[in-house]
Chain A
Amino acid sequence: AQTVTQSQPEMSVQEAETVTLSCTYDTSENNYYLFWYKQPPSRQMILVIRQEAYKQQNATENRFSVNFQKAAKSFSLKISDSQLGDTAMYFCAFTLEGAQKLVFGQGTRLTINP
């Protein structure tokens, strides 16, 4: 079975700083996809960024980028120039190619302080 682990239950940084959230996963498969979702206090789960395992290039979306290390099964999220609106729970998620479900980590609560 696939598992996703987020080892940082909570993190807190000052506005404009850079922060990195960690995620590791376990799978014996070769073709899969990784995601970071953001869940603010409104509870809406919002896609932040997506990475295909077959792509060596790390995905980027504006201030958000990932460091995907396939051999180490690591998928960290870097938020640059953090903003107050980035305050939220962040979930790392995994799905196999052709699978029907997302497997989520336990989440990291990120607080951006003014």
Chain B
Amino acid sequence: DAGVTQSPTHLIKTRGQHVTLRCSPISGHKSVSWYQQVLGQGPQFIFQYYEKEERGRGNFPDRFSARQFPNYSSELNVNALLLGDSALYLCASNLLGAGREDTQYFGPGTRLTVL
């Protein structure tokens, strides 16, 4: 079975632009979470979606938004990009979602560079 997949692998944008990152969860997993990992630091939680509804949000500005589709894939959108948005964006999926604990499995990430 395929693991969590993310696209694109790398992305270069300029300040003020918009970006969309995509994630497909492990087959059968209904929950997707997004994390931002700045170089040299641990990942920081951005969002969790379960059954197409937002179930958790981290301390990120409104420029960050996400959604989940009926097939459980997800998009992360970032508007008005800043230099500080340069990071590795990680997507993770798990089976049961909010209200239950189960292990999150991560994709390979999308490396975003903002110039």
Contact = CB atoms under 8 A, between A and B. Distances in A.
A64 interface: no
A27 B108 CA distance: 30
A105 B90 CA distance: 16
A44 B106 contact: yes
B106 A45 contact: yes
A25 interface: no
A99 B101 CA distance: 7
Contacts, number: 59
A77 to B, nearest CB: 15
Interface stretch (B40-48, B64-72, B74-82): B40-48
Contact of A106 (B35, B41, B101, B111): B41
Contact of B98 (A42, A44, A100): A100
B113 interface: no
Contact of A100 (B33, B88, B107): B33
B99 A98 contact: yes
B108 A102 contact: no
A50 interface: yes
Interface of A: 4, 33, 35, 37, 42-47, 50, 91, 93, 95, 97-107
Interface of B: 33, 35, 41-45, 48, 55-56, 58, 88, 90, 92, 98-101, 103-109, 111
